[in-house]
Structure 1
Amino acid sequence: MARRQKADPEVVEALTEHTSFDEELVRQLATAGTAVNIPEGWSIIMETTPADSAYIVLAGTVEIRKAGQVIAHLGAGDVFGEIALVNRSLRNASVVAATPIRALRLGEEAISSLLEHDQEFADTLRTYAQSRITAG
């Protein structure tokens, strides 16, 4: 996995504040991912499309939509886009920025490497995915 030399301090701060990840995992995520700013109303993920990344919300709120209906709101610290990556399937919902958001985008290669090398992250993603599949 290609890594930048240094983690973005703003990403590290947001992940530390809004997740229960340990310091080492926060550093790995902040180095492996790319911080992105997404305007309100923009579609981030479209239902039934192939998966190439997952996101961790750093600030703002997103809506999870299934068949056009809002089924959940996620905020800082929440992960989305992980279900299709974990299950190697098409996206089962769309995600739209309900407010302007800042998120950490983790590409498929970064996710695969983290799943393989960090059991805490793997367990967290699988738990998120399973709880959303069960609820949805």
Structure 2
Amino acid sequence: MNPTNKALRSQGIPKVNADAARIASRLGTFPLFADAERGDLVAIAASGVELNVPAGWSLIWAKTPADKAYVILEGEVDIKLESGKTVRLGAGDVIGEKAILEHSLRSATVVAATPLVVLHFTADAVTSLYADVPAFRTAIDTTLAKRVA
């Protein structure tokens, strides 16, 4: 079991049984996935685990190994950068993917600013989706390009 899922369950936060068709429909409402084919959206949804996360929970910690990524389905997170700057992201945004693809340590800490619903991916799922699902690759490449700019 993934440590994040185990930690969330140990805090009494139930795992939400993901319905791939429902999650795929939700993903398709976000600009990042708006042009994606239905099959790609279902593949993305089926590769993740939907989780409820309370406000204040740290999803990712700076200077730790990259073992997970998320698509935010509902709510907002604060990205606390090493520079001291904080960036807020919300529904439809992807977090945690960069360090996985670059095989590097995390460069920021991510904290739930509000209660969240996220689609959680293991590092292996991110790598596989990036290689095999065009809509996921496009979403990740678009996200990374925006963050560099």
Flag whether TM exceeds 0.5 (same fold): yes
1:106 paired residue among 121, 132, 135: 121
SS at match of 1:69: coil
SS at match of 2:28: helix
Q: Which residue of 2 aligns with 1:13?
A: 25
Query: Does the Cα contact within 8 Å between 1:56 and 1:80 map onto a contact in 2?
Result: yes
Please, what TM-score do these two structures have when normalized by structure 1? 0.84
**Distance in structure 1 (CA, Å) of the matches to 2:46 and 2:94:** 17
SS at match of 1:17: coil
**Distance in structure 1 (CA, Å) of the matches to 2:43 and 2:19:** 8
* 1:8–1:35 distance in 2 versus 1, CA, 3 Å: same
**Distance in structure 1 (CA, Å) of the matches to 2:85 and 2:113:** 11
Query: Does the Cα contact within 8 Å between 2:44 and 2:136 map onto a contact in 1?
Result: no
Number of equivalenced pairs: 129
* 1:9–1:121 distance in 2 versus 1, CA, 3 Å: closer
Q: Kindly provide the CA deviation profile for residues 96-119 of structure 1, in whole angstroms up to 9, marking residues without a partner as x.
A: 000000000011111111111123
Matched, 1:83 2:98: yes
User: What RMSD in Å do the two structures reach over aligned CA positions?
Assistant: 1.9
* 1:8–1:117 distance in 2 versus 1, CA, 3 Å: closer
Please, what TM-score do these two structures have when normalized by structure 2? 0.78
Amino acid paired to 2:124: E
Identity, % of aligned positions: 36
**Runs (4+) off by over 3 Å:** 6-10, 67-70
Q: Which residue of 1 aligns with 2:51?
A: 36
